[in-house]
Chain A
Amino acid sequence: MKYEKISDKVYRVKMRDASDDELKKISDEMGLALNLEEMKRIKEYFSNLGRDPTDVEIHAIAQAWSEHCSYKSSKPILRKYIFGIESPHTIVVMQDDAGVVEFDENHAYVFKIESHNHPSAVEPYGGAATGVGGIIRDVLNMGAKPIALVDPLFFAPPDYPYKKLRQGIKHPRYLLKGVVSGIRDYGNRVGIPTVAGITYFDEGYVNNILVNAGCLGIVKKDKIVRSRVTKPDVLLVMVGGRTGRDGIHGVNFASKVLSEKSEEEREAVQLGNPILKEPLIHLILEANEMGIIHGMKDLGGGGLGSVVGEMCYSGGVGAEVHLDKVLLKERDMAPWEIWVSESQERMLLAIEEENLEKLKNLCDKWDVEISVIGKSIMEKNLRIYWQGRKILDLPLNFLTGGVEYNRPYKIQKIEKMQEIPPEPKYREIFLNLLSSINIASKEWIIRQYDHEVQGKTVIKPLQGEIGFETHGDAAVIKPLHDSWRGIAITTVANPQIARIDPYVGSLYTMDEAVRNLVAVGAKPHALSDCLNFGNPEKEEIMGEFVESSRGLGEAGRFLEIPFVSGNVSFYNEAFRMNIPPTVVLMAVGIIEDMRKAITTDLKKEGNPVYLVGETREEMGGSDYYRMIGVRSTYVPRVDLSETKRRSEELLKAMKSGLILSCHDVSHGGLAVTLAEMAIGGNIGAEIDLRSMGVMRDDFKLFSESPTRWVCEVQRGKEGEFEKIVNATKIGYVGGNSLRVRDGERWLFNVHLNILRSRWKNGLKDYLG
């Protein structure tokens, strides 16, 4: 008998004399997702104490030690590369649930991006909705008002054959529709605009989709709340939703590979309720304005278990919790279930006793439930009581101090090669690229998200003439009524390059973040990273992680853009297939005066068009090569000093009002950039590639070399522009078609209507 009942729904687990096999069995039976080494460590700990643990204690430890909560595989690498990049503007960096950065003298912005991958793979609608709900709470619990959401998504192609799907794997079209609906119904209902995102398709995500969600908020500097309790006898108060069995073991679920059995773990997926969240946001912000919140943290992954421990541990105190006080959705929950439940819409507030009445009154107004579940104590222990009996007593440094691994890794050697295809039919290949799923219009998705609510989105995700809009590079939010200062937001990811060379993939992604922000006229300011990888217990996957982190750190340091928050998602593996290394960045820039912001749509006939940056014959990872099935490992080389210099030049020209439209060159190369600009402006252009020098025309058109932008310059200001920006004039705005030649040789001439319909329908045709 391994389990002995000691109280109502509480068991003692006899592990002191358990064999290795029995330890593994305990881990499996209890759903702990701990390996043998970790189980042995627990056994040793309790042997030294001279007693067996309760089931609550084991569950609490398993949760705190899960990859999701402890970052046990990633922390040493993150510390080496990503943490500690200096910036004079940062306020809270990589400590609480979201990063805090100075916005202006009196305000700060708060933001973070994180993953919600496994739940979304199993239950796309609920998983994605909960992902949005969770990230909103991360921003809210710093005391900030959430004002923008972003959603990068990764699926297999929508035409993936059903026959090739493994058992238990859902079709990408079903997953995409479910995820988009989940984000839409949650984000729209809660009244926060979704302003940016990515929808990326690759077969590498067929068994394991990625759903990342980011949120940004704004707070007065003197109202920033920390996720910590710094003295004893502060009340621990739960507000918001009740606690149920939904989301039991979510973090453990997130910390192992998916399989055909994952469907059976649907209960690990939490259920969100935006109409509970909406008043909760009001309540929290009003309480914060009154200054009655001592500390605050949301209950996300790990539930009460991780929140109580982390809040008290980081503030240097302990905690005493009475689990009978927690309001439940269903009776008969065992204490361990209450402790690890990840039910949504719950926040833990630390409140001084004298302020409790005020908080209760606010709860009455907003119809939100509240219960006092315990208090902080001097001794740095966690103590849990159940029906008056102590059922857990552990020192916080053992529980929350956690574990860390220096996992072995192997860095793959890259054989340099580049095949050269025969010259293509330009018009055909160009239109095929324009309508390919990774390039085609994402309007079907973007318009289902309310990107206008709150009235602060001054540069929208879709830009240009009304009814003819094109993709923008970044959105701009004007957070304050009485200031022109704006926040630019973009999200970027380039797994197609990272899968060839993860280090360069990171540099390229950093370059693209800068490109996008600069394109709207914003100076890059801070980053949040969501690192999605396969199984870290495999050396080559760990190698990808190390190389990706190295690239991010190097670029962040050189460009002086700090990473202020982030999330690592490992174990994105199923059926022995790991996802491509997927670094997702949520990048934030500051635009001093949003009236100077720039959009991507061409503006006016007769204005000159310039190309900024070097185009090189490096086709590895390009959409062109991938579409025609030609191989290359020559990925675009990034020169960070160029990134820096060219952005500074462009920002200067924008400040002087010389640039009327600007779009970065990325997927599909120069040709696609020009097409998108023409589509949004509802006006064509005539382009001559001769000034780009001697190179094959398909490389000129479709190369994805970094650090490039296309700019439309005010007519008559060419001289002034050229003095500031090192750029090549390639043509003029005008006409109702995009006409491209290289000297005397015409490559294509495509009418705007054809451009628009191919671009607009490429993805929509699959989604209806």
Chain B
Amino acid sequence: MKVAILQMEGTNCEEESFIAFRDSGFEPEYVHINLLKPGDLEKYNVLFIPGGFSAGDYVRAGAIFAARLKAKIWKDLKNFVDEGKIVMGVCNGFQVLIELGLLPAVDGISDEPQAALMVNDSNKFECRWTYLRRENDTIFTSKVPEVITLPVAHAEGKFVAPNKILEKIEEQKQVVFRYVKPDGSKADYPWNPNGSMNDIAAITNPQGNVLGIMPHPERAFFWYQHPDWTRKKREKGDGSLIFKSLIKYS
């Protein structure tokens, strides 16, 4: 399972992502967008877009990264998705996938973004741990228990979509994780850290091979990355179960 971890100026979670993939049994490689040529994607099974602030997020989070991908390898990327290969975007990567129209893609890949990750309701960047409830069965979550904890760290993570799109996302069981309270009940702030509609933290496309997730599984890969490890024993980090699910699928 070869993984391409995409880099451009401002991506900055690639190292912990690399470790997460490698330690889960994948073969990850860094691929800088400046060196990416048509045809390059073919040899990979997974395309991973890490978190960070691509191009500084100065226009709109993820917009420039998406525009450059479209300009460089849009055809290859669409084929990659259509062939059922796996695409995964975390945080800024999720924002990129929405900008590209690869998510939510309720009726297939869209030319225009169908949803947005907007500025948090708190109107500021927030770094905090959240509880997430697994919603639907996907290739990313087969090993994931019902409730896990993962950290978020973003200023623009409020998932919004027009009602019709939102209904379709729910109908087609595209929601992967929802923010919840520690007891699994419906979240309010800060448990829903950004004000996302329907408490959405992660979605896939209808085919289930493209995942966008705001919280960072790669930052909760080992037990000692959890903030409460001095209170609660774990064998491994909750985030590792997502990578584990994926390697099992392949």
Partners in one complex: yes
- A466 and B12 contacting across the interface, CB-CB below 8 Å: no
Report yes or no: B56 in contact with A275, Cβ–Cβ below 8 A. yes
Distance in angstroms from B130 CB to nearest chain A CB is: 8
Q: Confirm or deny: B199 has a beta carbon within 8 angstroms of a beta carbon on chain A.
A: no
B224 touches A467 (CB 8 A): no
Q: Does B44 contact A (CB under 8 A)?
A: no
Complex formed: what's the CA distance from A599 to B228 in Å?
Answer: 9
Contacts of A279 in B (CB 8 A): 9
Given contacts A452-B127, A455-B219, contact A469 B227 (CB under 8 A): yes
Task: Determine whether B48 belongs to the interface, using a CB cutoff of 8 Å to chain A.
Answer: no
Query: B12 contacts A448, CB within 8 Å?
Result: no
Would you give the shortest CB distance from B60 to chain A, in whole angstroms?
Answer: 15
Q: Name the one of A364, A367, A467, A601 contacting B191, with C-beta atoms under 8 angstroms.
A: A467
B128 within 8 A of A: yes
B230 is an interface residue with CB less than 8 A from chain A: yes
- Looking at the complex, which one of A367, A447, A462, A464 makes contact with B34 (CB distance below 8 Å)? A367
State A478–B229 Cα separation when bound (angstroms).
14
**B231 in contact (CB, < 8 A):** yes
- The residue on B at minimum CB distance from A192 is B12
A595 to B223, CA, bound (A): 10
- Chain B min CB distance to A371 (Å): 20
Q: Is the CB of A452 within 8 A of B55?
A: no
Q: Which residues of B contact A464 (CB under 8 A)?
A: 228, 231
**Across-interface contacts of A599 in B (CB, < 8 A):** 230
Which chain B residues lie closer than 8 Å to A594 at the CB level? Answer: 224
CB-CB contacts below 8 Å: A455-476 with B: 455, 457-458, 460, 462-467, 469
* Cα of A542 to Cα of B182 in the assembled complex, Å: 55
CB of B225 within 8 Å of the partner chain: yes
Query: How many contacts between A and B, using CB within 8 angstroms?
Result: 113
Residue of B nearest to A600 (CB): B230
CA distance A48 to B56 in the complex (A): 53
Check if B190 is an interface residue, CB within 8 A of chain A: yes
Among residues of A, the one whose C-beta sits closest to the C-beta of B130 is A466
Cα A458 to Cα B125 with chains together (Å): 21
CA A447 to CA B194, docked complex, whole Å: 13
Given contacts A452-B151, A452-B216, contact A188 B53 (CB under 8 A): yes
Residue among A446, A452, A465, A603 with most chain B CB within 10 A: A452
B124 at the interface (CB under 8 A from A): yes
B10: nearest chain-A partner, CB-CB: A275
Looking at the complex, which one of B10, B35, B149 makes contact with A278 (CB distance below 8 Å)?
Answer: B10
Specify the chain B residue showing the minimal Cβ separation from A193.
B127
Cα–Cα distance between A464 and B232 once the two chains are bound (Å): 10
- Least CB distance from B20 to A in Å reads 8
Chain B residue nearest to A520 in the complex (CB): B230
Q: Of all chain A residues, which has the CB nearest B32?
A: A365
Residues of A within 8 A of B170 (CB): none
Bound-complex Cα distance A258 to B68 (A) = 46
| Chain A: minimal CB distance from B21 (Å) | 13
Task: Using A275-B9, A278-B10 as known contacts, say yes or no to A465 and B228 having CB atoms under 8 A apart.
Answer: yes
A478 to B182 CA separation, bound complex (whole angstroms) = 28
A430-452 interface bits toward B, Cβ cutoff 8 Å, 1 = contact, 0 = none: 00000000000000001111111
Are A448 and B10 in contact, with the CB atoms below 8 A? no
B124 touches A448 (CB 8 A): yes
Contacts of B230 in A (CB 8 A): 463, 597-599, 601, 603, 660-661
B residues with CB within 8 A of A: 9-10, 12-13, 15-16, 19, 32, 34-35, 51-53, 55-58, 124-129, 131, 149, 151, 153, 182, 190-191, 216, 218-219, 221-222, 224-225, 227-231
Q: What are 22 A-B residue pairs whose CB atoms fall within 8 Å in the complex?
A: A189-B10, A274-B56, A275-B10, A275-B55, A275-B56, A448-B124, A449-B127, A450-B125, A452-B151, A453-B51, A455-B13, A455-B225, A458-B225, A465-B231, A466-B149, A467-B190, A467-B191, A594-B224, A598-B230, A599-B230, A603-B230, A660-B230
Given contacts A449-B125, A452-B216, A464-B228, 11 further A-B contacts (CB under 8 A): A188-B53, A275-B55, A364-B34, A366-B32, A446-B127, A448-B124, A451-B127, A455-B13, A465-B231, A595-B224, A661-B230
Ranked nearest first, the 7 interchain pairs of A and B with the lowest CB-CB distance are A191-B12, A455-B16, A275-B56, A189-B53, A450-B153, A599-B230, A466-B129
